[in-house]
Amino acid sequence: MSNKAFRAKKIKSGAWFVFAGLVLAALIWLAASSGGGSVASGNPRAEITPAEIDAGTVSMAAGKITKTFTVKNAGTGDLVIDNVWTSCHCTTAYLIIDGKKSSRFGMDKMSTFQKIGAGKTAELEVVFDPAYHGRDAIGAVNRIVYLSTNDSTNKVAQAVLLANVTR
């Protein structure tokens, strides 16, 4: 093979790799811009109601209390909740979607991928243990449950639980 023929073959081979790279890049871009195919297109919107619940006076002697928030996807695309966690070990949470209750989420126990369809709602069940911190931990408390979402205007939605802990 002549030197000229070898260079022509090398150029063709290089052009093929450049073309293949461009096609691959285009496919990756299309997959990313369409949400990877796992989430319907549109704009999700996370709404938690009420935003805050005041549980009032909570007695350690009475034990744990449970309060429920509504998580609504008021948008046009699937709302993805890729993490749920709490502000303190005394508080845990469960996400209930289509009647299926998630595993327990807490300060250290974070969640797995959850999805709420456009226009659908879920329940966020929050459990507060007023005795968790011991006998002397009385007074006003402010506990938060965080939901990491794909809502571009509300990346970390919050549900707030207030209480006044007594013995």
Res 24: pLDDT = 52
Task: State how far the Cα of 164 lies from the Cα of 56, in Å rounded to an integer.
Answer: 6
Q: Which residue has the tokens 């319907």?
A: 40
* Each residue's pLDDT expressed in tens, for the chain with a length of 167 residues: 565 554 555 555 555 555 655 555 554 544 444 444 444 579 999 999 999 999 999 999 999 999 999 999 999 999 999 999 999 999 999 999 999 999 999 998 676 779 999 999 999 999 999 999 999 999 999 999 999 999 999 999 999 999 999 99
Angle 90-92-95 from CA coordinates, rounded to 5°: 165
Q: What residues does each domain of the chain span?
A: 3-33, 46-166
Q: Say whether pTM exceeds 0.85.
A: no
CATH architecture of 46-166: Sandwich (2.60)
User: Burial letters for 112-130: b for 16+ Cβ neighbours within 10 Å, e otherwise?
Assistant: eebbbebeebbebbbbbbb
